[in-house]
Amino acid sequence: MASKQRILILGATGQTGKSILHALVAEPESFEIEALVRPSSADKPEVKNLASQGISKIHVVDISGPIDELVRVMTGIDVFISGIDATSQLAQLQLVRAAKQAGVKRFVPCAFITIAPPGGVMALRDSKEEVYQEIWRQFLPYTIIDVGFWHQISFPTLPSGRVDYASMITPNINIHAGGTAPNMLVDLRDLGRLVARIIKDPRTLNHFVAAYGDVLSQNEIFSVMEEASGEKIVERKHVSRLKSLGAADKLLDTVRFVQISADEIVSERFEAAAKAKAEADNWFAQARQFLADYNYSKYVRGDNTPTYAKYLGYLDTRELYPDFTPISFKEFAKGLLEGGIERPYERYRERLEKLRSGK
């Protein structure tokens, strides 16, 4: 029998990291899991809870501190997985160097976004590219895993309000550029299960992998929701224009829904990029740019498809693991209507609510 893989995971308290952690701890015969946690979070309840979730060791290390400390905790690790948040991608550069020195056998950087090419389409994709290039410069074994857009942030809200409990934005009835572009989707609960398969698989070493469960256009997503709920989502041609995201105190009050075309998505993207450049330390400006880029890549360019992934050289989990049955969007919608879906980013929600109320 093959020996267990020793895994070190960064971001185990985040959305992506949590999904990966849940899947890995479900296979104690395959994985021994350790977590890397930053000193400022060491006393948080979610970090304290990690110990009871099947993690064998928690290392509290500042990833921008001395590299020797990182090399020490990475020594003997088979697979390092990063689920660091979107705005902190470049903090991984030192992790790459430390992993090389420590002899980590597979480095899984924080990719986990939709399929897009590098070079000016998505700022977030480009910041990840800087990390990938460091991996290649270091000749470090790697696997880059991109995923579909999560089911959990892809569903429209309903007139009755009965799925608002799980929605990050309410109402969320946005149709982009006609809603016809097909997009790869994944259930956040499957993300980790797919990662568990991928990191055990020698075929995925030194490759990009596209991990997803469904491919649907927005119009199809809306139809699934209408069919499953028996409700009509009447305002389906509205799209949010998140103009106010630069002004933190007005974030939730000033979101407006207006009709918008592909041209308007493009111009919003230019405005958002200019704001993000001018205010590099403004989290909301960065988030606005990420969102605008997603809309451009997914709905205007139509990048996020299995065909384009294959063209870019990705392996496809549907082909690698034909026995894996993903949670379809239809099944997700059923669970959603039954009240069984968790709203993502609850901890950021609190922060947003505080900003909104000015406290």
Ligand X SMILES: NC(=O)c1ccc[n+]([C@@H]2O[C@H](COP(=O)([O-])OP(=O)(O)OC[C@H]3O[C@@H](n4cnc5c(N)ncnc54)[C@H](OP(=O)(O)O)[C@@H]3O)[C@@H](O)[C@H]2O)c1
Where in the sequence numbering do the catalytic residues fall? Answer: 128
Strands 207-211 and 183-186: unpaired
* β-strand pairing of 183-186 with 214-216: antiparallel
* C-alpha to C-alpha distance for 137 and 131, rounded to whole angstroms: 10
Judged by CB under 6 A, the residue of 5, 13, 218, 317 near ligand X is 13
Residue 113, interface with ligand X (CB under 6 A)?
yes
CB 199 within 8 A of CB 105: no
Nearer to ligand X, 235 or 248 (CB): 248
From residue 49 to residue 78, what is the string marking binding to ligand X with x (rule CB under 6 A)? --------------x---------------
Single residue of 112, 132, 208, 222 touching ligand X by CB under 6 A: 112
110 binds ligand X (CB under 6 A): yes
Task: Find the binder of ligand X among 8, 9, 10, 173 (CB under 6 A).
Answer: 10
Rule CB under 6 A: is residue 83 a binding residue for ligand X? yes
Residue 155 identity:
F
Number of residues that bind ligand X (CB under 6 A): 25
- Using CA atoms of 173, 176, 178, 180 in order, give the dihedral in degrees to the nearest 10: -100
Cα–chain center distance at 114:
8
* Of positions 142, 149, 212, 222, contacts ligand X by CB under 6 A: 149
Select from 25, 71, 86, 121 the one that contacts ligand X (CB under 6 A). 86
Give strand ranges (E) for the chain: 5-10, 31-37, 55-60, 79-82, 106-108, 143-147, 149-150, 183-186, 207-211, 214-216, 239-241, 256-258, 315-316
Determine the residue type at 240: S
Q: Judged by CB under 6 A, which of 9, 35, 99, 124 binds ligand X?
A: 124
- CB under 6 A: which stretch of 142-150, 163-171, 272-280, 304-312 binds ligand X? 142-150
CB of 1 to ligand X, least distance (A): 32
CA-CA-CA-CA torsion sign (68, 9, 281, 94): positive
Nearer to ligand X, 129 or 235 (CB): 129
By CB under 6 A, name the binding residues for ligand X.
10-11, 13-17, 38, 41, 63, 83-86, 88, 91, 110, 112-114, 124, 147, 149-150, 153
